[in-house]
Amino acid sequence: MIRTDDLAQQRLLVAQACRVAASRGLVDGTLGHISLRIDERHLLIRCRSDSDTGLACTGADDVRLVCFDGTAGAAGELDGYQVPNEFPIHAETMLSNPRHRAVAHLHPPAVVAVDLAGITIRPIYGAFDIPGAWHARAGVPVYQRSVLIRNTQLGREMVAAMAGRSLLICRGHGIVSAAGTVQQAVLQGISLDRIARMSLRVVSAGGTLREIDEQDWADLPDLRPSLTVDAAWRNELARITQRPPTDYVR
């Protein structure tokens, strides 16, 4: 049985993740959605309504409990709400890999631009963003179709292109980030956007993208969640909840 108090906290987490993604420019308006697997039958997902004001304004009430077939997970869950058209992105990604408990489908312009420009995501820096560097080293696959992924067949095509990785670029569309937690899924998206932005800056400045030296990887360790995911997420939440100091100048 799903505990009501646990579900309330998880709804809030997904809502916060949507606002973080919007604050980082990874989504715009009502586009994009984030989900969290609850059990073998249910997931929470950011849904849409006739009064939707966008992901930057997501509240816990916008996060609804649904089944893996896209139907309501409990009585009243989809009253006044609709699951995203691209719900198969979430269902098929989670069903393909039990480690993927959270999925973020985002539309970061820099990542879309990098791919359309024919620039491959590569580990061009190290300590600047260690988790991002390791993701780049592993390689970020590309789903070549620019379609709306709105049915099971397209969802499975996308998952096949993902090839078991945690990140995927959808050409001319956006990205999919899958992880064990909502926090990780969004932070991976931020890292991918960061390296895409840096790549564009280097190329725009007339530079050449060059991967870091192989010998450097031994000194780019896993810094543990308390120093990476946990600390980074506290910072992201602070960015969306705290006002700037009174002496802040734009």
Catalytic residues: 86
In the sheet that holds 142-143, the strands lie side by side as: 63-67, 42-46, 33-37, 102-106, 174-179, 167-170, 142-143
Could you give the CA distance from residue 147 to residue 190 in angstroms, rounded to a whole number?
23
Could you give the CA distance from residue 187 to residue 50 in angstroms, rounded to a whole number?
29
**Residue 46: alpha-carbon gap to chain centroid:** 13
Q: Is 63 left (phi over 0), alpha (psi -120 to 50) or beta?
A: beta
Report the relative pairing of strands 63-67 and 42-46 from DSSP bridges. Answer: antiparallel
| Residue matched to tokens 């249910």 | 42
Task: State the Rg of the chain over Cα.
Answer: 18
CB 99 within 8 A of CB 112: no
Q: Which residues pair with 177 in a beta bridge?
A: 104, 167
Q: 3-state DSSP call for residue 177?
A: strand
